[in-house]
Each structure stands twice: as structure tokens, then as C-alpha cells.
Chain A
Amino acid sequence: MSSPGNEVGGAVTAAQTADAVLTVRDLAVEYLLEGGTVRAVDGVSFDLSPGEFLGVVGESGCGKSTLLFAIAQLLVAPAEITGGSVVFRGQSMVGLTDRQLAAIRWKDLSVVMQSAMNALNPVKTIAAQFKDAMRAHGMTSKQEVADRSAEVLRMVGIDPVHLKSYPHQLSGGMRQRSMIAMALLLTPELVIMDEPTSALDVVAQRSLMVQIKELQEQLGFAVIFVTHDMSLVSHFSDRLMVMYAGRVDEFGPTRQVFDSPLHPYTIGLMEAFPSIRGPRVPLTGIPGSPPNLASPPPGCRFAPRCPKVMTRCREETPELYHVNGTLVRCFLQAGEGDGEQ
């Protein structure tokens, strides 16, 4: 499990997944629309160890949020899981009833949404919303509820007096922190975060990231952190998954992906960030835009924008190749390692 490179594979043995808190295999999610289906997540597989911090990066429309929603079983029509499996703590999440899901949510798995402004109930105090979540899981003692509420709020650096506050009385950063506090109320094993810092300023963003990391190390929950800004997770995630047009294009230990990116898309993304330090160099970004998933290009989906495209790329779909502990979906790496199948 801990040896990167083994997490995705055709034959997964029980031993490999035994200690994983989450196992996702060949997950496919489709939006069933009038004009046809749009496959937003296409064959994503990974294992998540307890206490691991997984970063998922990609541009808008690459399927990263759909992937999260599929894992947390939050998809609504017309989106539907059309293939693969999601196994959380040994239990398949696909097909669970609402009642079964309610027993898991908040307690074992919680989700922090992108916009805390919209995720928090505007007409209830923070305390009331915390109480709802705890009551739903059988924590009824008033004292216990109050103590725990104050405790998690203190954990995220907010004075417990704000339990009496309504969301609009808090700043954006405090709302986002209180969402995270709420997610930690019942000490879940997995916290899924969808761009929780995107509405914040760099300074607030930085301090929230540091705080999430500290809490994670202290409490030991696993994190799946989705963002469009790969520099944000560069110092915080253990492994990094780069998604493009619904597929995983590169997946490996974060430092390794940053230090020696293999996929032309990952390389392009890294070169799209101007640096605050060092010499100022002209950058080009990545020409073109991501494909429309209703009619994805044949072969490699990055081919139309790829500076190193070959004839083969436009005809065949590359598999994920193992290269030094990283998985990469690119024919350029085909000779470097063995294909996964």
C-alpha cells in the first residue's frame, strides 16, 4: 500500500486494500443528457490510506468535483455512477440507501464544500447547525453537545463565543473554518474538501492550509483535497492526482510530481504559474482549452493541446504507465516502464 505505484492495478489483492480507508476502482460517472451521455469521470482508480492527504488538481470541467461527489454519494440526476466501485471502510458506497448514507455522513466521512457561504444555513446559528449534526448521530446530552461544539471551534482557531453567531456575522475565512470545524465534530476518518480555500485571500488561504494540515496530523483523518491551484497543495499533500478531461493523467508522490513532472499537461500546468521569486521568464501557458466531454477527441484527450503530440496519440488512448513510482498516461513514457495491464 505504502509503495506508490501499486495503488492502481488490474488485480487488486485483498492485502493491498485491507488497510485502505477508501478504495476506488475504475469509477465512471456519466451525465445522462438529451443529446447523449457525457462521461465526466472515466476509469479513476486509487486507494487512500488512513491519515493520507491526497491532492486532486485539474482545470474546471476536468471531473474533479464530480469525482468527489461520486465518492460521497452526493451525485444528483442527471449524473450517475455507471461503472466501477467505491469502497469506504470495507463497505460499498454505491447503492446505499439514504438512511444508510446518513449514518455514515458526518460520523465517518464529511464533506467541506467550496462555498461555506452557501453551505451553512443562513437562518441558524453555528451552534444550532453543529447540534443538528451531532443529534443526528445520537449525541443528545446538552452538555456534551455544547462542549464538543466549543472544542472543535477552538481547534480551528475561532473563539467559541461565535457559536452564537449567524453565518453572515462571520468573515469568509471564519465561515470556512467553521465548516471545517463542523466536519470534524464526530472525528471522521475521511474529510473530503472541494476547493475550501478558493474564496479566500492568499494570506487566509495559507493559514487555513497550515491549519488543516496541523489538524490532520493531530487527529489522523484522511483528506481528499480538490483544487485547481496545484501550487496550493504542493507542500501539504502526500500524493497528487492530476486530472484532465475526466481521466487521471498523472498520479504520484507530490514532491516527485512537482520535481519531475512527466505528463506534458502537468509540465504545462507547472509552467503556467509565474513565480514570485527567481528570474522573471516569459511564460506561454497551455494553448487551446480543455475538450468538450460530450465529444472528446479520440486517443489521448490532451493531444489537441500537446506540444509533443505524435500520430499515435490521436488514434489510441494511452494507458497509465508506471515510471519511478508515478503513474502517467502518456505514450512518451511507454518505454520507460511497464504498462499497468
Chain B
Amino acid sequence: MTAEMPDARGGPGVTDRDSTMLLRTEGLTRHFRIGNTLSRGILHAVDDVSLAIGERQIVALAGESGSGKSTVARLLAKLYRPTSGEIYFQGKPLSAIRSRKDVLRYRGEVPMVFQDPFASINPVFRVSHGVMRSLKLHRPELSPHERRAEAERVFEAVGLAPAAEVLQRFPHELSGGQRQRVGFAQALALRPKLILADEPVSMLDVSIRIGLLNLMAKLRDEQGVSILYITHDIASARYVADRLIIMYAARIAEQGPTEEVLARPKHPYTQLLLSAVPDPRAPLNIGSETDRGEPPRVINPVPGCRFRWRCPLAIDECQTVTPELSELGPDHEAACHVARSGAEVRAFG
């Protein structure tokens, strides 16, 4: 990673426009009780996560499997209740949303798109079924004719043309990429403010993925929606996201504007992640590659940095004090004692 990123804004419409806040979390935490009577444990899936998503913004949430990124999405979708902490949507706390009507409206404003397009669409109905049903449920004011027109509009918007024809197909008649577009169309029909997309392209073939990433950028630019893009693929996050959040073992390790984080990664884990991305254009660099570690399962954790076992730079403080996020660059935060002390962090890559 060199600092010369000549035109950070030359990408596919990624902007750093000043964005009004859409959703933010404060100390969001979710624990699960696991085990049986003989061995009990508390699994910390999400610990003390404070993040913000602006309007018309794509925020990438990246990390290894088990780092808690999907749990964050489910908390934001109100599928789980936080153990502690709060989520504010357009300034209002989510815990205050209780009535069925309000929950329904929130789910319409913040829908999810799932990872597996083969499992997330009912195979026995035409693809129109899902869109029409959710329109009926979430926008009852529409007449049947208007519903049909709206379904066609969202199908066109996600690039499923001719919409009238595609709506009549069954899921098995569509390719994986088309099915995932159906997922986005269903979300879009609800006139969402924020789409929670959990690994939406990881099941798709490489040649198809870019089309979906471009679609996400288009939905942001043309429909004005924000997207929380959950992924383990940093390169695709860089391609499409305005902001990048790196999670490690249930906590945020680092966050900031995508180019800033990738050009000047402060957290050793971010550096490790970047060094591991295969890049056919770069020469192989095995020498620096010594990490054979794995992310810990966070059960009954003790204080201290959760990356310390893998970190070549760990100091005494890391063994005992959990590092908090601190601002280390413009709008750029990392949770690392070494980086905060002002030292140059160069752990991997």
C-alpha cells in the first residue's frame, strides 16, 4: 500500500460528499449464552460497536467469518435485540419502535438482501410473487394496477429487463446474478432508506459480481439509498464503498473513509488483511507472511486487545487493557494502543 493514490475519486462514482446521518449505533453489544449446564459460556458476537451510516452512502463492513459482521446486520434489521447499546435510525432510538405498525415500517425502510440467491427466493412461485406480496404488505395504498407498475419499475431499476417478462419467470429460470438482482428489487420496492446486504455477491461467479457491485453504486446514486455492504472481500469494498469498517473478534478494529483506511491502515489486523488479498498484478511476497493464526471465538473474554496473540507489535498494555477506538487521521479511527501512541505501525505487508 503506497500513499500515492492519485485519484481516489476516480472510481465508480464513489464520493465523499457530506452526508446527513441516517443510522448510528452507540455501544451496540450482543451476547449469546452457549453451552449446557456443565459448561456455560457467554459468546460475545458484537461488543461495543459504534458506527454511523450516512444518507446516500455505501458502508462496507468487513472482517473474517465469526467476526460479528452478520450479527451487526441482524441487530440493525431488528432480528436480534441488543444485549446493550442502542441503534438510532433517523435520530430515533430503535428500542422505542414497538408497535407492529412501526416495526413493519422500519423493516420496509431497512430491508435485507441475503447471501444465497438460491435459498432466499421461494422456488414454487413466480418471482413477481415476492415483490407483489411485500408491496401489498408494506404499501397497502397501492391498487393492484399500481403494484404491478411499481414491480416493473423496480425490476427495470435493477437491470432485469424486460421487467414484465422477467416478473413472470420462476426462480429456476434465472441465473444466480439475476436472482440476486431480484433480491435487490424486492428491497427497492419498499422504498428503503438503507439496504442491509449480507455478502450479496460472495455466492456469485466472478464475472457476474462486478455487475452487482455496479448496481449497488447505481442504487445509491439514482435511488438515493444507503447500503450496508457486508463482505470479506476488501477489494470489492474498495471498489464500491464510501466508508470501510473493519471488524475483528466482535469489535471494530478500524474505520474511516475507504481510501484513507486502505492507503494508511493503522491497525495491524487491517494490515494483515490487506497483505493477504491475492493480487495477480503484484509480485508474490511470501517473506512477510508469517501469520498462521486464527481469529478467536470470543467466549468469556478477558480485557486486553483481542488481536494480541497474532500481533507482532503487541506491548504490555495490549495484554491487559482493551483498546478503544481513537481518531488517528481525518475521520479515521483505529483501536490499537501502539498506533495511538504515535508509533508507526507496520506489522504486515
Q: Which of A162-195 contact B (CB under 8 A)?
A: 171-174
A157 at the A/B interface (Cβ < 8 Å)?
A: yes
Identify which of A174, A279, A287 gathers the most chain B CB atoms within 10 Å of its CB: A279
Q: Which residue of A lies closest to B213 (CB)?
A: A274
Decide if A235 touches B278 in the complex (CB within 8 Å). Answer: yes
Decide if B206 touches A229 in the complex (CB within 8 Å). Answer: yes
Residues of A within 8 A of B280 (CB): 230-231, 234-235, 258, 270, 273
Bound CA–CA A2/B277 (angstroms): 31
Decide if B206 touches A277 in the complex (CB within 8 Å). Answer: no
Residues of B within 8 A of A203 (CB): 64, 272-273, 276, 291
Q: Which residue of B lies closest to A271 (CB)?
A: B210
Q: Which of A230-250 contact B (CB under 8 A)?
A: 230-232, 234-235
Q: Which of A3-49 contact B (CB under 8 A)?
A: none
A-B contact pairs, 15 of them (CB 8 A): A202-B278, A206-B275, A207-B289, A234-B278, A235-B280, A273-B235, A274-B236, A277-B1, A277-B282, A280-B10, A280-B11, A282-B214, A283-B210, A286-B207, A290-B205
Residues of A within 8 A of B209 (CB): 272, 285
Decide if B175 touches A289 in the complex (CB within 8 Å). Answer: yes
Bound CA–CA A273/B276 (angstroms): 15
Decide if B14 touches A201 in the complex (CB within 8 Å). Answer: no
Least CB distance from A172 to B in Å reads 7
A269 at the A/B interface (Cβ < 8 Å)?
A: yes
A275 touches which one: B206, B235, B291 (CB < 8 A)?
B235
Q: Which residue of B lies closest to A280 (CB)?
A: B11
Bound CA–CA A206/B286 (angstroms): 10
Other A-B contacts than A202-B234, A284-B214, 16 sampled, CB-CB below 8 A, are A173-B294, A204-B64, A206-B289, A210-B286, A231-B278, A269-B207, A274-B236, A274-B238, A276-B235, A280-B12, A281-B10, A281-B11, A284-B210, A285-B209, A285-B210, A285-B211
Residues of B within 8 A of A234 (CB): 278-280
B344 at the A/B interface (Cβ < 8 Å)?
A: no
Decide if A202 touches B12 in the complex (CB within 8 Å). Answer: no
Bound CA–CA A279/B8 (angstroms): 7
Residues of A within 8 A of B315 (CB): none
Residues of B within 8 A of A138 (CB): none
Contact with A along B224-253 (1 / 0, CB 8 A): 000000001111101100000000000000
Least CB distance from A225 to B in Å reads 13
A114 at the A/B interface (Cβ < 8 Å)?
A: no
Decide if A289 touches B208 in the complex (CB within 8 Å). Answer: yes
Decide if B291 touches A207 in the complex (CB within 8 Å). Answer: yes
B330 at the A/B interface (Cβ < 8 Å)?
A: no
B292 at the A/B interface (Cβ < 8 Å)?
A: yes
Q: Which of A258-306 contact B (CB under 8 A)?
A: 258, 268-270, 272-287, 289-290
Q: Which of B281-316 contact A (CB under 8 A)?
A: 281-282, 284, 286, 289, 291-292, 294-295
Dominant secondary structure at the A interface: loop
A60 at the A/B interface (Cβ < 8 Å)?
A: yes
Q: How many residues of B contact A (CB 8 A)?
A: 52
Least CB distance from B95 to A in Å reads 33
Bound CA–CA A272/B205 (angstroms): 10
Q: Which residue of A lies closest to B6 (CB)?
A: A279
Contacts A269-B206, A272-B206 given; does A283 touch B239 at CB 8 Å: yes
A280 touches which one: B8, B208, B291, B294 (CB < 8 A)?
B8
A228 at the A/B interface (Cβ < 8 Å)?
A: yes
Decide if B239 touches A280 in the complex (CB within 8 Å). Answer: yes
Least CB distance from B90 to A in Å reads 31
B165 at the A/B interface (Cβ < 8 Å)?
A: no
A205 at the A/B interface (Cβ < 8 Å)?
A: yes
Least CB distance from A168 to B in Å reads 13
B65 at the A/B interface (Cβ < 8 Å)?
A: yes
Least CB distance from B293 to A in Å reads 8
Residues of A within 8 A of B177 (CB): 289
Residues of B within 8 A of A207 (CB): 276, 289, 291-292
Contacts A276-B238, A280-B12, A280-B238 given; does A232 touch B7 at CB 8 Å: no
Residues of B within 8 A of A282 (CB): 11-12, 214
Residues of A within 8 A of B338 (CB): none
Least CB distance from B207 to A in Å reads 4
Q: Which residue of B lies closest to A202 (CB)?
A: B276
Bound CA–CA A202/B277 (angstroms): 6
Least CB distance from A3 to B in Å reads 24
